């Protein structure tokens, strides 16, 4: 999320389309929380990178450690790192994850799983299911069933005592341990939900329900909420998608603030993991006019849109006969040129052949170009950017994080409040099992007869200890023994909770 995205969203909300008036006093909920800046660079193997990806950025925010590109919850040496979610859980706090992407996507994965490849969502999903998180809301049920390891993770959740939800109407009945999977992969942009996916809840609805459930725990709670598709819209250079999800994020922050201000014992931090797209309010078209251009030049064209670029693509659904009508009715563009119509048809035909952009669709990217041209908005890239990002914090005693800090400082600040030492907890949760068990005199081997369910096996006298990958239990002479954290297998090196080692006599 970029600062210009926040600014554009504020102006968008302030502009009244009917009267053309602008309410300059209109603010976002996050505005009252701005307290500093955050540096987002990555660092590993002696290299410092200015522009980070979501996996190392998420890992920094979750663990307080900088790491390699594509790494999730592991150090540059590929060793698992204890996350602030895991450590808060293990001191008795309730925990929750909410996202509008698939919950296995980079940021939420970094808080709840460990693997040196963010694309391995099947592995990430299994670790998440076995990581005993109290509330999980988002998309991604496609990673829970019809898996190569033949494990039905929905049944696993139900057997663990979770309520499993798939529809917005079921959200009101959620009371305790709950997994809500509202889409096969990512959820829709919030602006598109009413028209295209009315069964999906809003981000603020998921946030409020999470707080309702988690706040019942007398020991307190940790909740991480992500408006995931701000990033995706930025990749597609779709300003409507960006505004949709920044507003969704702001409403979820409001829900958290309302709770925090009422209870006066809660810290709220709102940030992005990195910049994206280089959005500018103003472009080459405004080089000589910017000092005379009023706000409505930049937001009036955007106000005409009723769907994001992704939503428009779904509404057209490959039928180019209704393209012009839908672009006018839902995209807010009624003056398409002959050349633009030809461009749109060519993109739609390409997408029939599954030639898609990295995030979103080529249709969304083209729509972003068309609407941005009309709104005099600029974009420098379809990728991430390296600027410092805004830090938004709230604490009832006003001991907020201020100044310019590092992204790794954020989990450390939370850990300090709760008396947690993240480095120490990493040593407790993720010990090299083979090395430790051999020191105890055990014979250790890897059983990879089932490539999708690899396990470490240790024997010593009459004792056999089996450690299945991605599970929060071990088998001691065939009997399940539950652990506080999952066993992580990285290239046949197993990392396991120290409690498992104590079982080997």
- Active-site residues, by number, are 54
CA dist list (Å): 22 to 297, 375, 472: 12, 16, 55
CA dist list (Å): 137 to 5, 85, 178, 205, 433: 25, 15, 8, 10, 32
At residue 359, what are phi and psi to the nearest 5 degrees? -120, 140
CB neighbours of residue 242 within 10 Å: 32
The closest alpha carbon to 367, from 405, 443, 316, belongs to 316
**Can you state the percent helix, strand and coil of the chain, rounding each to 5?**
40, 20, 40
Distance CA 377, CA 274 (A): 20
Distance CA 78, CA 76 (A): 5
CA dist list (Å): 353 to 114, 154, 186, 330: 35, 33, 21, 25
The encoded tokens of residue 279 equal: 């959005």
Distance CA 313, CA 319 (A): 10
Q: What angle (nearest 5°) sits at the alpha carbon of residue 424, between those of residues 129 and 96?
A: 30
Distance CA 53, CA 42 (A): 8
For residues 10 and 302, the answer to whether their CB atoms sit within 8 Å is no
For residues 63 and 82, the answer to whether their CB atoms sit within 8 Å is yes
Distance CA 141, CA 135 (A): 15
CA end-to-end span of the chain, whole Å? 52
Q: How many residues does the chain have?
A: 505
DSSP 220: -
Q: Which residues pair with 378 in a beta bridge?
A: 280
Distance CA 363, CA 346 (A): 10
What is the crossing angle of helices 239-263 and 309-316, to 10°? 120
For residues 84 and 407, the answer to whether their CB atoms sit within 8 Å is no
Q: What angle (nearest 5°) sits at the alpha carbon of residue 87, between those of residues 84 and 90?
A: 150
């Amino acid at each position: 999320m970029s600062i210009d995205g926040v600014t554009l969203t504020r102006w968008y909300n302030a502009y009244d389309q009917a009267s053309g008036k602008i309410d300059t006093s209109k603010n976002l909920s996050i505005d009252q929380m701005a307290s500093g800046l955050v540096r987002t660079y990555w660092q590993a193997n002696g290299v410092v990178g200015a522009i980070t990806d979501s996996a190392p950025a998420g890992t920094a925010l979750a663990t307080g450690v900088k790491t390699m590109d594509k790494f999730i919850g592991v150090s540059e040496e590929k060793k698992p790192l204890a996350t602030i979610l895991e450590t808060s859980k293990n001191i008795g706090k309730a925990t929750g994850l909410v996202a509008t992407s698939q919950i296995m996507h980079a940021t939420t994965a970094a808080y709840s799983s460990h693997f040196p490849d963010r694309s391995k969502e099947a592995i990430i999903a299994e670790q998440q299911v076995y990581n005993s998180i109290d509330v999980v809301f988002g998309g991604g049920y496609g990673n829970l069933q019809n898996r190569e390891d033949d494990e039905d993770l929905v049944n696993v959740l139900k057997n663990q005592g979770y309520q499993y939800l798939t529809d917005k109407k079921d959200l009101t009945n959620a009371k305790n341990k709950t997994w809500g999977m509202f889409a096969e992969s990512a959820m829709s942009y919030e602006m598109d939900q009413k028209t295209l996916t009315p069964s999906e809840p809003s981000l603020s609805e998921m946030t409020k329900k999470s707080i309702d459930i988690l706040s019942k725990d007398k020991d307190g709670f940790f909740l991480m909420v992500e408006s995931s598709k701000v990033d995706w819209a930025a990749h597609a250079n779709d300003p409507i998608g960006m505004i949709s999800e920044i507003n969704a994020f702001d409403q979820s922050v409001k829900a958290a603030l309302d709770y925090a201000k009422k209870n006066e014992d809660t810290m709220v931090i709102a940030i992005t993991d990195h910049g994206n797209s280089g959005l500018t309010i103003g472009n080459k078209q405004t080089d000589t006019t910017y000092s005379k251009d009023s706000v409505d030049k930049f937001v009036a064209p955007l106000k005409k849109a009723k769907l994001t670029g992704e939503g428009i693509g779904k509404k057209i659904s490959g039928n180019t006969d209704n393209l012009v009508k839908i672009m006018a009715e839902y995209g807010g563009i009624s003056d398409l040129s002959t050349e633009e119509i030809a461009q749109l048809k060519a993109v739609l035909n390409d997408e029939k052949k599954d030639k898609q952009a990295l995030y979103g669709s080529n249709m969304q990217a083209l729509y972003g170009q068309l609407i941005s041209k009309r709104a005099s908005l600029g974009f420098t890239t379809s990728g991430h950017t390296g600027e410092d990002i805004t830090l938004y914090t709230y604490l009832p005693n006003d001991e907020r994080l201020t100044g310019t800090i590092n992204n790794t400082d954020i989990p450390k600040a939370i850990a300090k409040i709760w008396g947690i030492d993240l480095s120490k907890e990493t040593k407790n949760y993720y010990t090299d099992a083979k090395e430790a068990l051999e020191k105890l005199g055990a014979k250790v081997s890897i059983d990879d007869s089932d490539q999708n369910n690899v396990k470490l096996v240790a024997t010593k006298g009459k004792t056999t200890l089996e450690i299945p990958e991605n599970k929060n239990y071990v088998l001691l002479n065939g009997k399940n023994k539950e652990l506080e954290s999952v066993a992580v297998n990285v290239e046949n090196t197993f990392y396991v909770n120290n409690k498992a080692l104590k079982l080997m006599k």
